[in-house]
Structure 1
Amino acid sequence: MKIQITLLLIGCAASAVFAAPQAQGEAGASIVSQESNIEPDGSYNYNYETSNGIKGEETGTLKKATSPDTSDVIIARGSVSYTSPEGNLITLNYAADDENGFQPQGDHLPTPPPIPPAIQKALDYLLSLPPAKRR
């Protein structure tokens, strides 16, 4: 009796696994292409694409740090793209370095509202003053 129950449970578990439909999207995605290259000087590049349309690429170069307290740094540039659940192509381009940090760019990123003209005029006036009078 115990063997029959055990076999029944194994059969149910196996049927649930094998009968489950393949998930669309991230869970069922596979890698379509992938390349990477690392050079002896520390520079690199890679790119990939998945079956659900996600693509990415990055190039990095090693740079001597400007500060003596910091070791060498990597300057990276790349992009990632995917299709949103609403069907829109989302592309994020970016650059990253030790001087400016991470700098993302993309049409989907929020932007600040425009500065009202009166405020901009006041800011321009303050910038026109000598540094000692700005305080």
Structure 2
Amino acid sequence: MFKFVMICAIFGMAVALSPGHVSSRGEDVHAEVKSEHSDVRADGFDSDLLVSNSIQQAASGDEHGNIHGSFSWVSPEGEHVEIKYVADEHGYQPSGAVLPTPPPIPVEIARALAWLEAHPQHQEPSHHH
């Protein structure tokens, strides 16, 4: 799992930074890496990247494949966009203001779910003859 996630992360950064990559902002084609740091150890890793077009990435992981990280960029509209994430035994869990969120559960449904939880149905043992 750990190796797969690292390979995906490296591939994604390589594609995003490749010279032929075309984005909605013309200067992205000429973006340069301002700083990059990687420390891969037996017990995990730490990495960070800063690109001249305001793209940033940081991640750290442990020997169990658990990863905490973030990446950010400036949208074509000038908005700073940041995604934070955790990748662990529960899967990939991103968070950020730009991610869609489900609508709230209607009060009536929430009330019905609470009632069902407070009044569990007991299964009658079936009698087979």
Tell me the TM-score normalized by structure 2.
0.72
In structure 1, runs of 5+ residues without a counterpart are 1-22, 64-73
Q: 1:62: how far off?
A: 1.1
Matched with 2:34 is 32
Structure 1 segment 20-59 matched on structure 2, within 5 A: 24-41=26-43, 43-59=44-60
How many residue pairs get matched? 99
* Structure with the greater alpha carbon radius of gyration: 1
Work out the percentage of aligned pairs sharing the same amino acid.
Answer: 35
Q: 1:131: how far off?
A: 5.4
SS in 1 for 2:47: strand
Matched with 2:95 is 105
Matched with 2:85 is 94
Matched with 1:82 is 73
After TM superposition, what 4+ stretches of structure 1 lie above 3 angstroms from structure 2? none
SS in 2 for 1:94: strand
In structure 2, runs of 5+ residues without a counterpart are 1-24, 124-129
Q: 1:116: how far off?
A: 1.1
Q: 1:52: how far off?
A: 0.3
Q: Decide which moves more: 123-132 or 24-33.
A: 123-132
CA distance in 1, matches of 2:71, 2:91: 18
The CA RMSD measured in Å over matched residues stands at 1.5
Matched with 1:128 is 118
Matched with 2:109 is 119
SS in 1 for 2:98: coil
CA distance in 2, matches of 1:123, 1:32: 52
Q: 1:40: how far off?
A: 2.6
The structure-2 alpha-carbon separation of the partners of 1:59 and 1:131, relative to structure 1 and needing over 3 Å to count, comes to farther
